[in-house]
Amino acid sequence: MTEMVCQGLVKKFGRKTVVNNVDLHVRQGEVVGLLGPNGAGKTTLFNMILGLVTPTKGEVYLGDKKITNMPVSRRARLGVTYLQQETSVFTGMKVWENIDFVLRFRVKDKLERRKLVEELLREFGIWELRDQYASDLSGGEKRRLELARMMALKPLFLLLDEPFVGIDPKTVKDIQQMIRSLSARNIGIIVTDHSVDALVPVVDRLYIIHKGKIIAHGEPQVVLNDPVVKEVYLGT
């Protein structure tokens, strides 16, 4: 079973240290949460894992392979994928075309692609929307399409940046169920969000980042009952 590991990650912008000696790991089939206030370093840490930002110090490993300096495209081919906070669907394409476009990079046979597109559309509950343009979808429907499109890449690890933002309570529950389903398919997931209530029910372990440092990590309820976490993040 493959594990993704971050060791001693540091990122400085000029004299300011944004991420300070962060260790983090996630195994296939595990869901790990990352919580922290705005400006805590979550986005920078995510970007270092993805390859969008080069660490000042520290390493990122995928299994026994060091990927610290690999570009995003190569990491994606190795199975590291990302769902950003802002919608990334191709709005000028129909729903089914969004998935077909991504599948073309790994499946050349048209009939096989068509079958896979249908499977993904049905799995993520958007089969009935297949002929709509992505621009006409609701926020929750776009999230489903993004997840379906991402699964077309057969990821080992998935990074979700605030997937619960801007969606209705029913879709929050649907996405929670999708995260559990992806985990059951042996995909390792790192997910960040501002909503403790939405995030905690789906994670196996939780990291709290504050001022660039991990101040607590472990089982969710243990972490949330930590006195330091209560003081600096939960405000209780």
Compute mean pLDDT per 10 residues along the chain, 236 residues long, and list them.
95 96 98 90 92 96 96 90 79 96 90 96 94 92 88 91 82 87 93 87 96 96 92 74
**For residue 78, what pLDDT is reported?**
92
Whole-number pLDDT of residue 80 = 94
pLDDT of amino acid 180: 92
* Identity at 158, one-letter amino acid code: L
What pLDDT is stored for residue 234 in this prediction? Answer: 73
The token pair at 107 is: 């499946």
Give the domain ranges of the chain: 3-87+155-234
Structure tokens at 32: 């790990």
CATH number of 3-87+155-234: 3.40.50.300
What's the pLDDT score for residue 85?
67
pTM: 0.84
